[in-house]
Amino acid sequence: MGVGGKAIRVLPEEVEVQRRPRGGYVVAEDPRMVVAIWVEISEELRREGLARDVVRRIQYLRKEAGFQIDDYIETYYEAPPQLAEVFQIHSDYISAETLSKALIEGEPPEGAHTAEFEIDGMRLRLGLVKIEEKA
């Protein structure tokens, strides 16, 4: 094989090998191995992460309000549609993790423990009301 019918000899010091990751991957390497990791986040995974952020904010507000670890609550929320969707899709998870008997979209009632947060550039207003568990 050659160029224009002539054989070409390429020496190792004349060659530079560069590794360029495909889109969506991050690559790390050492002399013995190369590792590539897919870093694109699916919409489903992004919503799961947002749900975890919501739980963390509710838990923070529970603590700030002085609720006991086993107190049941009603959680009121005001959020943009994208974040409200997270409450709907992951309602079972959010409720179980925060002991919320109800997740209610709308303004919290008078006397609720309230706070505003920013999650992923979106404004979230939470209101928590301790409820008495009926026997």
User: What pLDDT tens digit does each residue of the chain (135 aa) get?
Assistant: 577 888 888 888 888 877 777 778 888 888 888 888 888 888 999 999 999 999 999 999 999 999 999 999 999 999 999 999 999 999 999 999 999 999 999 999 999 999 999 999 999 999 999 998 654
Radius of gyration over alpha carbons of the chain, in Å? 26
Q: What is the pTM of this model?
A: 0.74
- Could you tell me if residue 120 is inside a domain? yes
| Structural domain span for residue 100 | 43-131
- Could you tell me if residue 28 is inside a domain? no
**Number of domains, the chain:** 1
E strand spans, the chain? 25-30, 33-38, 72-78, 100-105, 113-119, 122-131
- Could you tell me if residue 83 is inside a domain? yes
- Could you tell me if residue 56 is inside a domain? yes
Distance, CA of 54 to CA of 126 (rounded, Å)? 9
Q: Which tokens is 68 given?
A: 């006991």
